[in-house]
């Protein structure tokens, strides 16, 4: 998938490719500005005006969604929950009504059925006193409650893939754990796939089966979670993990990514960069389901052989 | 909610007091002898002195002010120099004519401005948006008196579609029995449909003149407000949950965009209370604006002062009403914070 | 949302392009602004050069009353036989000048008050804001009207009155900006390096708070012309026989009903076109609504 600003030759996302299996939680990690949110918006057909698909495809169970997405049509099978849950709910509509509306649209229920089901859904996502909460407005609920409401809405869509865009960054740590449990429970129950977007590596370790590391709109490395943490191969991934160990916030050292560069976008920060890095690095299979996009691997291979 | 209302009422009272103070001191303290201005340019020294005594202008300023303030609170806005009648009574008698004009003009402006603003926002950057934009600029650059003259020239003098700028009804027509003071409503209540029709025809040109100008700020506000709402997180959520773009525009977009728009419509209506001096003069409309015009022409500062204070107070009261309306639409104000969880 | 990717990457500027070249490129991308700039330039030329080439705007001619527009009198003549075009050109000089003076005066005074309110805050701010509320309770036109009525008719009085009526907008704009600037680090820096408060406020905070006010001033110049002409139309402030657009429309108003449209409609059209020119520029610069 390649996505860019209309009229600007340099893509914001370049050949970002990954799979999400049913019942699997895939982490999408990267710093601010790495293209995590842009990726999710592209998958939802919600790219901001002026940003367009350049190439590649999105397939769901063999069906090609690319055309729909590039016309801004949101696929029914994919849905998304956002960070800042309170701002992501309509402030002038009762939350029960917001859930019910989703049910009417996506499950074709009548107004009365939808109302009843919406209360059920709210209690299913662990909201105590769901019938009372259904009549509340978002500003009357805590952030954690709002996130649960949003998850209830997402469930109402019966998604095959759920995109969770930093669902807990705006929440307290204790609430965070509850929301994680909720999402894990729902995956087990409905066996939908989850694309879990975050910059928090601890959350990734806790939640995800596989991880995709994004930097500057390019996939740096993807691997099963255990492999990634135990055997990071890409220089950027190693840098990211070290910065957590050193307790440095990687964002503190953040530099603006130059989207005009043709080659590896991490090259100008990379300690191991060399002359080939001015080209676009290919993904190299370095282990079972473990791919890293760095010319160093090719060098190593050629030296070894 | 109650605390909000009390606070709101307090601020409004302070502002109204401020209005009386400011207007009083503008009229009395600024350079220019109050009595001499009242007497007109050709008055003798004796006449000026006489007026000074009559209106108490020879007494200490603070005494004059306290008197005036007490009067205003009691509903006494002073006495007109020109007609020798109480100013407030004269203003109230003319208010319905102005309000009828204002209400129709704001309705026309809303009916034009709101849909055009929504379309411009939904089709941002297209030619429709461009047309809306030029229309808005034209409206906010328009000189009321010039547009009014154009209307009179084309629709009265050239085409003869509407009556000339003389009054609210044709000369010699008896107004309908007074209930609301709106001829269109009173006529309907009395079953005098010919009067209703005539009143509407006399309203048409001044209403169109004002409506054109007033549509501009409403259009601009609706457009920017809808654009902002459509870019909000909750609209994105609704889209992500499968709500169609059209439903998002009309349900999520419009209701929330409506909040700032009500304020704008209110401000526009408030602006009308004074902006119509020009239009009422041009169309010989017997309202408060025309009264103010006559007061200016005859140096009747007492009457002008009463008019300005009334305009200010009406505007403040109007704002209270708007805020209440706002509170009714917006649950964040209507209901306090945190009821549950 | 995590900070999004910079979407509005600056458009690449070809190296070696001159300032004028860039300005032309900018205007080409914004046609409305180009129209505004061209119109304003035309008006300025008319105001500066026009009165030197037209006939005397005050000369009456009883033999040539109410002549329709012709080659000799492009805008026709009025009921006293005066040349409407000459009067409209003379009025352009007066009206543009008054409009610009009002915009500058109300911007400077309003911004100083706004910075004082925003930077000092507390009681001072409270009093200033309450006063602003009071001034905003009147439509600007009515406020200007009663000020001139109380002070008497004269051009300086009109300038003062109309400037006051636009003050609240500038006070609010600059105050909001100063409130934000106050929290910036450079202000702490200026304070810690021993600058007295007034110096921090006016040398550091104020220049950085002026941008929105400056844009607003473009629109105000237009509206000021509209207000001045509206007052004159009602016979307040500037009186006949001074060649002023509002005065001319008032003088010609009665001719319209008898079919002599040119005496009022030409000067009125010049007002609207001038105000629009200011608007095209101000709107494109990002001027807000009032």
pLDDT attached to residue C290:
35
Between chains, do B240 and A80 touch, taking CB under 8 Å as contact? yes
Residue C66 lies in a domain: no
pLDDT tens per residue, range A75-101: 778 888 888 888 888 888 888 888 888
Which residue blocks in chain C are alpha helix, DSSP H? Answer: 19-29, 31-53, 84-120, 122-136, 140-151, 155-182, 185-192, 197-199, 206-209, 211-233, 245-257, 262-284
Which residue of A lies nearest to B332 if distances are taken between CA atoms? A139
Q: Flag whether pLDDT at C13 surpasses 60.
A: no
SS3 content of chain A, % helix, strand, coil (to 5): 40, 20, 40
Q: Nearest Cα to B98, choosing from B300, B311, B305?
A: B311
What mean pLDDT value characterizes chain A? 78
Between chains, do B339 and A136 touch, taking CB under 8 Å as contact? yes
Q: Is A305 on the interface with B (CB under 8 A)?
A: no
Residue C197 lies in a domain: yes
Q: Nearest Cα to B273, choosing from B209, B316, B330?
A: B316
pLDDT attached to residue C120:
84
For residue A4, the cross-strand partners are A11, A52
pLDDT attached to residue B324:
78
Q: Nearest Cα to B87, choosing from B95, B54, B57?
A: B95
**Positive or negative torsion for Cα A269, A273, A275, A281:** negative
pLDDT attached to residue C11:
36
Residue C169 lies in a domain: yes
Chain C hits for B260, Cβ within 8 Å: none
pLDDT attached to residue A5:
58
Instruction: Give the residue with greater pLDDT, C22 vs C126.
Output: C126
> How many domains does chain C contain in total?
1
pLDDT tens per residue, range B36-60: 666 666 677 777 777 777 767 777 7
Residue C131 lies in a domain: yes
Task: Encode chain B in three state secondary structure.
Answer: CHHHHHHHHHHHHHHHHHHHHHHHHHHHHCCCCHHHHHHCCCCCHHHHHHHHHHCCCCCCHHHHHHHHHHHHHCCCCCECCCCCCEHHHHHHHHHHHHHHHHHHHHHHHHHHHHHHHHHHHHCCCCHHHHHHHHHHHHHHHCCHHHHHHHHHHHHHHHCCCCCCCCCCCCCCCCCCCCCCCCHHHHHHHCCCHHHHHHHHHHHHHHHHHHHHHHHHHHHHHHHHHHHHHHCCHHHHHHHHCCCCHHHHHHHHHHHHHHHHHHHHHHHHHHHHHHHHHHHHHHCCCCCHHHHHHHHHHCCCHHHHHHHHHHHHHHHHHHHHHHHHHHHHHCHHHHCCCCCCC
Between chains, do A5 and C7 touch, taking CB under 8 Å as contact? yes
Average pLDDT over residues A166-181: 81
pLDDT attached to residue C6:
34
Q: Mind telling me how many Å the CA of A35 is from chain C's nearest CA? A: 6
> Hey, which chains touch A, using 3+ CB pairs under 8 Å?
B, C
Range name among B39-53, C229-243, C250-264 with the lowest pLDDT average: B39-53
Residue C118 lies in a domain: yes
Average pLDDT over residues A124-134: 83
Helix, strand, or coil (residue A193):
strand
pLDDT tens per residue, range B190-209: 888 888 888 898 898 999 99
Element spanning A55, H or E: strand A51-55
Q: Nearest Cα to B38, choosing from C49, A36, C152?
A: C152
Q: Flag whether pLDDT at C193 surpasses 50.
A: yes
Residue C18 lies in a domain: no
Between chains, do B242 and A142 touch, taking CB under 8 Å as contact? no
pTM of the predicted model as reported, rounded to 2 decimal places: 0.79
Range name among A4-8, B242-246, C230-234 with the lowest pLDDT average: A4-8
Range name among A204-218, B134-148, C124-138, C193-207 with the lowest pLDDT average: C193-207
Which residue of A lies nearest to C1 if distances are taken between CA atoms? A83
Rounded to whole angstroms, the Cα distance separating A11 from C5 reads 11
- 10 Å Cβ neighbour count for B54? 13
**Structure-token match 């003071």, residue found:** B181
Length of chain C (residues) = 290
**Domain coverage including residue C39:** 28-59+74-285
Instruction: State both tokens at B228.
Output: 């902002």
Q: Mind telling me how many Å the CA of A271 is from chain B's nearest CA? A: 39
Residue A256, classified by CB atoms within 10 Å of its CB into exposed (0-12), middle (13-18) or buried (19+), is exposed
Confidence band (pLDDT; 50, 70, 90) for B101? very high
Read off φ and ψ for residue A142, nearest 5 degrees.
-75, 165
Q: Flag whether pLDDT at A216 surpasses 70.
A: yes
pLDDT tens per residue, range C68-103: 777 777 787 777 778 778 788 888 899 999 999 999
pLDDT attached to residue A171:
76
Q: Nearest Cα to A266, choosing from A225, A297, A294, A301?
A: A294
Q: Report the CATH number at residue C255.
A: 1.10.3720.10
Q: Flag whether pLDDT at C226 surpasses 90.
A: yes
pLDDT tens per residue, range A40-52: 888 887 777 677 7
Confidence band (pLDDT; 50, 70, 90) for A305? very low
R_g of chain B computed on alpha carbons: 24
Alpha carbon of A217 to those of A38, A39, A259, B28: distances in Å? 9, 8, 9, 70
Chain C hits for A33, Cβ within 8 Å: 2-6
> Hey, which chains touch C, using 3+ CB pairs under 8 Å?
A, B
What mean pLDDT value characterizes chain B? 83
Residue C15 lies in a domain: no
Rank A126-140, B139-153, C244-258 by mean pLDDT and report only the highest: B139-153
Instruction: Give the residue with greater pLDDT, B288 vs A82.
Output: B288
Residue C280 lies in a domain: yes
């Amino acid at each position: 998938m390649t996505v860019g600003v209309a009229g600007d030759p340099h893509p914001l996302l370049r050949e970002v490719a990954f799979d999400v299996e049913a019942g699997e939680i895939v982490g999408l990690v990267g710093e601010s500005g790495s293209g995590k949110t842009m990726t999710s918006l592209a998958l939802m057909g919600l790219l901001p005006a002026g940003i367009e698909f350049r190439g590649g495809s999105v397939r769901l169970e063999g069906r090609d969604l690319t055309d729909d997405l590039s016309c801004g049509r949101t696929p029914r099978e994919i849905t998304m929950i956002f960070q800042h849950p309170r701002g992501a709910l309509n402030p002038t509509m009762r939350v029960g009504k917001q859930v019910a509306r989703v049910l009417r649209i996506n499950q074709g229920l009548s107004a009365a059925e939808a109302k009843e089901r919406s209360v059920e859904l709210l209690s299913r996502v662990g909201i105590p006193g769901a019938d009372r909460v259904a009549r509340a407005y978002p500003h009357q609920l805590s952030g954690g409650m709002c996130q649960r409401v949003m998850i209830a809405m997402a469930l109402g869509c019966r998604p095959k893939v759920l995109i969770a865009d930093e669902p807990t960054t705006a929440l307290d740590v204790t609430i965070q754990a509850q929301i994680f449990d909720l999402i894990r429970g729902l995956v087990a129950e409905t066996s939908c796939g989850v694309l879990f977007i975050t910059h928090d590596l601890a959350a990734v370790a806790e939640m995800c089966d596989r991880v995709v590391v994004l930097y500057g709109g390019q996939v740096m490395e993807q691997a099963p979670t255990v492999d990634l943490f135990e055997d990071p191969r890409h220089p950027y991934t190693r840098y990211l993990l070290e910065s957590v160990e050193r307790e440095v916030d990687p964002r503190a050292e953040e530099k603006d990514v130059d989207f005009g560069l043709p080659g590896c976008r991490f090259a100008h920060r990379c300690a191991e960069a060399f002359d080939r890095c001015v080209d676009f690095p290919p993904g190299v299979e370095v282990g079972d389901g473990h791919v890293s996009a760095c010319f160093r691997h090719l060098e190593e291979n050629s030296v070894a052989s | 909610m109650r605390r909000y209302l009390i606070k709101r009422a307090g601020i409004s009272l302070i502002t109204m007091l401020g209005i009386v103070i400011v207007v009083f001191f503008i009229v009395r303290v600024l350079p220019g002898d109050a009595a001499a201005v009242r007497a007109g340019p050709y008055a003798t020294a004796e006449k000026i002195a006489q007026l000074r005594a009559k209106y108490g202008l020879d007494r200490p300023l603070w005494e004059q002010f306290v008197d005036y303030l007490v009067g205003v609170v009691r509903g006494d806005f002073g006495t007109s120099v020109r007609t020798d009648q109480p100013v407030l009574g004269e203003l109230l008698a003319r208010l319905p004519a102005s309000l009828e004009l204002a209400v129709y003009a704001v309705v026309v402006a809303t009916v034009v401005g709101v849909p055009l603003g929504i379309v411009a926002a939904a089709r941002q950057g297209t030619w429709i948006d461009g047309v809306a934009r030029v229309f808005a600029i034209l409206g906010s650059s328009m000189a009321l008196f010039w547009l009014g003259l154009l209307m009179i020239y084309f629709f009265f003098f050239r085409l003869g579609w509407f009556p000339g700028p003389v009054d609210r009804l044709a000369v010699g027509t008896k107004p309908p029995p007074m209930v609301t003071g709106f001829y269109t409503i009173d006529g309907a209540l009395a079953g005098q449909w010919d009067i209703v029709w005539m009143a509407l025809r006399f309203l048409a040109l001044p209403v169109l003149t004002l409506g054109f100008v007033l549509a501009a700020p409403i259009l601009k506000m609706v457009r920017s407000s809808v654009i902002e709402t459509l870019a909000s997180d909750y609209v994105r959520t609704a889209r992500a949950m499968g709500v169609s773009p059209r439903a998002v525009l009309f349900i999520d977009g419009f209701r929330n965009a409506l909040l700032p728009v009500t304020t704008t419509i209110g401000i526009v209506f408030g602006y009308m209370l004074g902006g119509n001096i020009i239009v009422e003069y041009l169309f010989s409309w017997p309202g408060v604006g025309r009264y103010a015009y006559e007061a200016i022409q005859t140096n009747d500062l007492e009457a002008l002062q009463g008019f300005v204070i009334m305009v200010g107070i009406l505007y403040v009261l109007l704002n209270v009403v708007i805020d209440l309306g706002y509170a009714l639409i917006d649950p964040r104000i209507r209901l306090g914070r945190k009821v549950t969880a | 949302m995590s900070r999004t990717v910079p979407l509005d990457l600056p458009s690449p500027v070809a190296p070696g392009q001159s300032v004028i070249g860039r300005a032309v490129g900018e205007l080409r991308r914004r046609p409305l602004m180009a129209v505004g700039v061209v119109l304003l330039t035309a008006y300025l030329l008319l105001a500066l050069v026009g009165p030197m080439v037209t006939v005397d705007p005050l000369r009456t001619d009883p033999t040539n009353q109410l002549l329709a527009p012709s080659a000799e009198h492009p805008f026709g003549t009025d009921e006293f036989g005066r040349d409407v075009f000459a009067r409209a050109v003379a009025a352009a000089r007066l009206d543009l000048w008054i409009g610009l003076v009002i915009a500058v005066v109300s911007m400077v005074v309003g911004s100083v008050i706004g910075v004082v309110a925003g930077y000092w805050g507390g009681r001072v701010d409270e009093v200033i804001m309450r006063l602003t509320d009071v001034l905003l309770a009147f439509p600007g036109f009515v406020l200007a009207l009663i000020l001139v009525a109380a002070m008497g008719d004269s051009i300086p009085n009109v300038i003062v009155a109309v400037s006051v009526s636009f003050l609240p907008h500038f006070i609010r704009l600059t105050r909001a900006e100063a409130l934000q600037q106050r929290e910036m680090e450079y202000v702490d820096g200026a304070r810690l390096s021993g600058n007295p408060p007034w110096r921090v406020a006016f040398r550091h905070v104020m220049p950085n708070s002026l941008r929105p006010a400056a844009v607003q001033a473009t629109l105000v110049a237009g509206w000021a012309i509209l207000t001045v002409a509206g007052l004159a139309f009602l016979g307040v402030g500037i009186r006949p026989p001074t060649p002023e657009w509002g005065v001319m429309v008032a003088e010609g108003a009665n001719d319209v009903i008898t079919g002599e449209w040119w005496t009022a409609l030409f000067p009125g059209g010049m007002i609207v076109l001038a105000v629009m020119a200011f608007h095209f520029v101000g709107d494109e610069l990002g001027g807000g609504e009032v």
